[in-house]
Amino acid sequence: MESWNSTKSSELYGINEWGNGYYSVGTSGNVQVHPTKDRGKSLDIYELVSTLKRRGIELPVVLRFDQIIESRISEINNAFRAAIEAYEYGNRYRHAYPIKVNQQYQVVRAVQDAARNFEGALEVGSKPELIAVLAMLDRRGEVLLCNGYKDAEYLELAILGRKLGKRTIIIIEQPYELHEVLRVAEKVGVEPELGFRMKPLSRGVGKWEGSTGENAKFGLTSLELLNGARYLQQVGKIHCLKLLHFHMGSQVSSIVAIKRVMREAARMYVEVKKLAPDLEILDVGGGLGIDYDGSKTNSDCSVNYSVEEYARDVVWSIKTVCEEEGTPVPEILSESGRSTVAHHSVLVTEVTDVSIGKPALDFEPPEDKEHARAQELWQIFQSMSVKNLSESFHDAMSIHEECFSAFMQGNVGLDERAYVDSLFRATCVKAKLLSKQARRTPEELENGEKFFRDTYFCSFSLFQSLPDSWAINQLFPIMPIHRLNDEPNRRGIIADLTCDSDGKIDRFIDVKEIQESLPLHELSLEDPYYIAIFLVGAYQETLGDLHNLFGDANAVHVDIDQNGKAVLKTIVEGDTVREVLSYVQYNPQELIEKFRFSIETALEDESVTPEQAADLTAKFKRSLDGYTYFVK
């Protein structure tokens, strides 16, 4: 048989599909990152992680490749430029980044730096986001879209930002906001620029389609849009209306749905333009998805279109409707957040332990001849074959249930129950293997994958670093970052360090269908085993919580220089125990004092020696300033 190699691992994990040119498996058997999609410029992620560990940067660690952000912004802008040129569209495109997708300062700064050649924009949805971005905008005329709930202070800051040379556009999402923004603008003496957010009846498709359509949380109905425009006419402010916005939903998986929504939005634009001649921008919102599973389908974890197709359909849809109505085409603006930053972050964790799920099939017969149920199950296990599979398996199930009932009544001891439980599990595995040759499989074995799965315990918190996996069953690509020239001979699920039963991943991407386990290698006691979770740059970090008080993971921003070497631009240290305790209102100094009191009491009782007291105190204080995760 042909030996296992990196090519087979690439096919097994689908990295060439979901990696989108940014990730691959090298001939060394390690995962490579190509931040510019240039295969000649790559970094070995395993070697990078090993270097970080030698420098004292513990896992879990989030690796951020800012050059991927630059690549994504260039790709999106160039796709729209090409579509505009191909269709002779008489206006331009502008890319906006909604910072809610990832508000980390270094990420937002990387987006700004990458967008300087394309006149990008930023979008905020709250007062804290507005304050952060107002301070970061450093070029006159930069566009800032202001969404979300807006109190008077929010509106004053946004409007006064125009005096600082920022082009703030306030998006009206609820009818009451229009009156309030005009009142505040008059108070501060600055003419505002406004946008209306429409609520399209056409819905997106995919996991987030429920957030769109006529029952969406934000947006104005057609009547509210009409009344809003007429009110602006009445008060002599219709010239302030510059933008029409809509949102078709996050991660829209089907290009057909995008075309349908775009037709409605373009029609609404030309109608509102009749009332507001200065309307000049159509903001098509988010929705541009990424291919998490590499299938290139309209499944929730994929998209059946490319960035280029998306851009062409947006441009063509708007141009067609405007030409039908004789309306000048607007500037196109999109808020493509997920597709901008998802690829650039990788969460790397280390396996700390493995719980073996698949039992050995070389069972010895029961030693105690009086254990009748154990003896009978042993005979069934030995004689089970393809021909008698169904009957034997059902008999085994019956014996297992009888043994449990007898144990509950006190008629079976722990030794017999333990033997029967273990042998029944082995019987299930043997039956599952035989079922591949049988015409008919026992119904109870249809979902028998669980009998083969190990549990790989990893140093991270699902709730902190991967909340969408837990909350909405979002799937992310997961694979080892090394040993990929060796065949993975185990199948396992991923469990985190929290004491919550939900802290696990037991659904994994596959081109054909979702899998209940992941191919993994056998754990070596001598060598570390690293697993990475990819495409986590969108939404995961700021959505995370402090379950079990596991804090933010370490994060490292990495570039590749002209010589192909790794440059660590920024190291963001993860939370210490002291910090996470303060988040939940514990006073670390007070804790130290209380611990010292316990030490003094123990010294008086002579339950510890002075040397032990000193050692305990030092360890307690040292732990307060340590990483919240597993440290070897």
Sequence-distant (6+) residues with CB within 8 A of 471 are 543
pTM score? 0.91
Enter the tokens of residue 154: 């929010």
Range 308-330 average pLDDT: 97
Closest Cα to residue 137, out of 172, 89, 176, 96?
Answer: 96
125 within 8 A of 96, measured Cβ to Cβ? no
446 has pLDDT over 70: no
In the chain the domains, ranked by start, together with CATH numbers, are 1-65+342-574 (2.40.37.10), 66-341 (3.20.20.10), 578-624 (no CATH)
Enter the tokens of residue 406: 């007898």
Task: Provide the pLDDT for residue 132.
Answer: 92
Task: Provide the pLDDT for residue 205.
Answer: 61
Sign of torsion, CA 317 114 336 474? positive
202 within 8 A of 219, measured Cβ to Cβ? no
> What's the half-sphere exposure (Cβ side, CA atoms, 13 Å) at 559?
12
37 has pLDDT over 80: yes
282 sits in which H/E element: strand 281-283
Range 5-13 average pLDDT: 96
CA 121, CA 114: separation in Å to the nearest integer? Answer: 11
Q: Where are the beta strands (DSSP E) in 71-156?
A: 93-98, 121-124, 143-146
315 has pLDDT over 90: yes
| Residue 308: exposure state from Cβ atoms within 10 A (0-12, 13-18, ≥19) | middle
Q: pLDDT tier at 426 (50, 70, 90 boundaries)? A: confident
CA 477, CA 454: separation in Å to the nearest integer? Answer: 19
pLDDT tens per residue, range 183-204:
999 999 999 999 999 998 866 5
Task: Provide the pLDDT for residue 449.
Answer: 67
Task: Provide the pLDDT for residue 211.
Answer: 54
Enter the tokens of residue 453: 């799965």
128 has pLDDT over 90: yes
Q: pLDDT tier at 216 (50, 70, 90 boundaries)? A: low
CA distances, 478 to each of 68, 144, 422 (Å) = 19, 36, 30
What's at 571, amino acid-wise? I
Range 529-548 average pLDDT: 93
Task: Provide the pLDDT for residue 208.
Answer: 54
CA 168, CA 181: separation in Å to the nearest integer? Answer: 13
Alpha helices, DSSP H, located in 326-388:
338-341, 372-383
Query: What size, in residues, is the chain?
Result: 632
pLDDT tens per residue, range 358-376:
777 777 888 877 788 889 9
Which residue's structure tokens are 């490319």?
A: 306
What's at 52, amino acid-wise? L
Sequence-distant (6+) residues with CB within 8 A of 411 are none
pLDDT tens per residue, range 510-526:
877 889 999 999 998 78
267 has pLDDT over 80: yes
Q: Work out the number of other CB atoms within 10 angstroms of the CB of residue 176.
A: 9
12 has pLDDT over 70: yes
Range 420-441 average pLDDT: 84
pLDDT tens per residue, range 397-411:
999 999 999 999 999
CA 28, CA 78: separation in Å to the nearest integer? Answer: 34
Range 91-100 average pLDDT: 96
CA distances, 157 to each of 99, 153, 218, 571, 581 (Å) = 18, 6, 22, 32, 33
Task: Provide the pLDDT for residue 564.
Answer: 86
**What does pLDDT average to over the chain?**
91
CA angle 93–98–103, rounded 5-degree value: 140
Alpha helices, DSSP H, located in 326-450:
338-341, 372-383, 389-408, 414-435
Task: Provide the pLDDT for residue 196.
Answer: 97
Range 217-226 average pLDDT: 89
Range 92-117 average pLDDT: 94
Q: Which residue has the higher pLDDT, 388 or 350?
A: 350
Across the beta sheet with 43-44, the strand order is 23-25, 31-33, 43-44
Sequence-distant (6+) residues with CB within 8 A of 558 are 43, 48, 63, 64, 65, 66, 566, 567, 568, 569
Enter the tokens of residue 425: 């599990």
611 sits in which H/E element: helix 610-624
Task: Provide the pLDDT for residue 210.
Answer: 58
Q: pLDDT tier at 504 (50, 70, 90 boundaries)? A: very high
Q: Percent of the chain, pLDDT > 70?
A: 96
Task: Provide the pLDDT for residue 213.
Answer: 53
Enter the tokens of residue 411: 């008629």
Task: Provide the pLDDT for residue 249.
Answer: 81
Enter the tokens of residue 518: 């992941």
Q: Percent of the chain, pLDDT > 90?
A: 74
